[in-house]
């Protein structure tokens, strides 16, 4: 406990980040984001949440998997090493303060700010109407996507938001909204949260395209060893190499060598590289060894996931406590917001 308290004191600031519940997480999520979240929880006071309201912006009419998907994200986080003793894991829809702040922020956000949001434009292209029409039926709530995201961030008035490069435009809007709020209400209440970008690029799918479950090119954190091995064996290597004792080109190996770099220690990566260049490492053997390494790497993570799967009450309790810590922190900010805006004080 004493150790915990002194550790808390030296934390470098406040962080929040969220993920939409779209299904089980894969190695792209793990390498691109999750591994970094595990590291950040030691250095910052962190709030990690499942963005279930954001899921509704596009999937309001198909909520049958929402509960399972929400649970899966939390299980994958805990499995990967997100530690509820070090951070708060909460569900977005359990934090009414965010919904309230969203109302205040939506009043001061000019309409054209949300309409020109480039990330939103990309999302619009992806969503379809319930009858499969490709012209999307954009709702009022969907247009508010970046405003709701600003509310997530400003609910805690955080310093940093760890995100992938695709989310940076949303953080820009958050800063604009924070600045506008401060100007309108003549206050310095809101900080301008900065994106924390990882320099680790997202891992590609085994076919060399963006990793995603709909492309059938992903390896889930929760997959078993056999499925993982089968998928890795399909991964693309050096397309110009015909025979296994031809000299290989690790730098032209599109997927397998990238995975080696993501999971193997430095020494091992060098060894692989040298053997490949010398024509002493056939691609099939190399991938079999890679699959074994990845399964080994994921073993403790998968065991932890199983443990939490078998203890649903414990997971619920972790979320209850995370919700509670998030509410306490958020309420401190909201008190100031209500006062600053000029609302009736009870």
What are the distances in angstroms from CA 10 to CA 43, 45, 47, 184? Answer: 8, 10, 17, 34
User: CB of residue 286 vs ligand TRP: minimum separation in angstroms?
Assistant: 33
List the structure tokens of 234. 């399909």
By beta-carbon proximity to ligand TRP, the closer residue of 51 and 253 is 51
By beta-carbon proximity to ligand TRP, the closer residue of 117 and 238 is 117
For residue 324, the surrounding DSSP H or E stretch is helix 312-341
User: CB of residue 39 vs ligand TRP: minimum separation in angstroms?
Assistant: 17
- What residues are paired with 90 via a beta bridge? 49
Give SS3 for 344. coil
User: CB of residue 8 vs ligand TRP: minimum separation in angstroms?
Assistant: 22
Render 101-125 in DSSP notation, one character per residue. HHHHHHHHS-HHHHHT-HHHHHHHH
Whole-angstrom distance, CA of residue 331 vs CA of residue 338 = 10
By beta-carbon proximity to ligand TRP, the closer residue of 19 and 82 is 19
By beta-carbon proximity to ligand TRP, the closer residue of 57 and 229 is 57
List the structure tokens of 299. 């073993």
User: CB of residue 164 vs ligand TRP: minimum separation in angstroms?
Assistant: 7
The site for ligand TRP (CB under 6 A) is made up of: 16-20, 51, 54, 149, 152-153, 161, 163, 167
Contact between 228 and 177 (Cβ < 8 Å)? no
Q: How far is CA 324 from the centre of its chain?
A: 22
Phi/psi-derived region of residue 104, left when phi > 0, alpha when psi is between -120 and 50, beta in every other case: alpha
By beta-carbon proximity to ligand TRP, the closer residue of 19 and 232 is 19
User: CB of residue 254 vs ligand TRP: minimum separation in angstroms?
Assistant: 26
User: CB of residue 143 vs ligand TRP: minimum separation in angstroms?
Assistant: 14
By beta-carbon proximity to ligand TRP, the closer residue of 54 and 305 is 54
């Amino acid at each position: 406990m004493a150790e915990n308290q002194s550790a808390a004191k030296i934390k470098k600031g406040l962080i929040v980040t969220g993920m939409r519940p779209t299904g089980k997480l894969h190695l792209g999520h793990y390498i691109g984001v999750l591994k970094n979240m595990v590291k950040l929880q030691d250095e910052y006071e962190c709030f990690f949440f499942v963005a279930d309201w954001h899921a509704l912006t596009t999937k309001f009419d198909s909520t049958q998997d929402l509960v399972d998907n929400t649970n899966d994200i939390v299980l994958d986080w805990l499995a990967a090493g997100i530690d509820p003793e070090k951070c708060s894991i909460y569900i977005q829809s359990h934090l009414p303060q965010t919904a309230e702040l969203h109302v205040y922020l939506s009043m001061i956000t000019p309409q054209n700010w949300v309409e020109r949001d480039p990330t939103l434009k990309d999302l619009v292209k992806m969503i379809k109407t319930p009858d499969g029409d490709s012209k999307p039926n954009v709702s009022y709530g969907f247009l508010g996507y970046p405003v709701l995201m600003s509310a997530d961030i400003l609910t805690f008035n955080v310093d940093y938001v760890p995100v992938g490069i695709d989310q940076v435009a949303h953080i820009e809007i958050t800063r604009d909204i924070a600045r506008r709020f401060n100007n309108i209400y003549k206050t310095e209440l809101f900080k301008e949260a900065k994106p924390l970008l990882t320099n680790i690029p997202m891992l590609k799918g085994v076919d060399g395209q963006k990793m995603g479950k709909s492309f059938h090119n992903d390896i889930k954190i929760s997959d078993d060893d056999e499925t993982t091995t089968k998928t890795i064996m399909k991964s693309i290597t050096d397309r110009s190499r015909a025979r296994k004792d031809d000299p290989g080109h690790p730098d032209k190996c599109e997927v397998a060598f990238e995975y080696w770099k993501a999971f193997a220690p430095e020494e091992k990566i060098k060894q692989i590289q040298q053997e490949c260049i010398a024509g002493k490492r056939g691609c099939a053997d190399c991938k079999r060894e890679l699959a074994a390494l990845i399964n080994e790497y994921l073993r403790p993570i998968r065991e932890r996931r199983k443990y939490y799967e078998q203890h649903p009450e414990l997971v619920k309790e972790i979320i209850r406590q995370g919700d509670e810590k998030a509410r306490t922190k958020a309420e401190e900010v909201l008190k100031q917001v209500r006062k600053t805006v000029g609302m009736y004080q009870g």
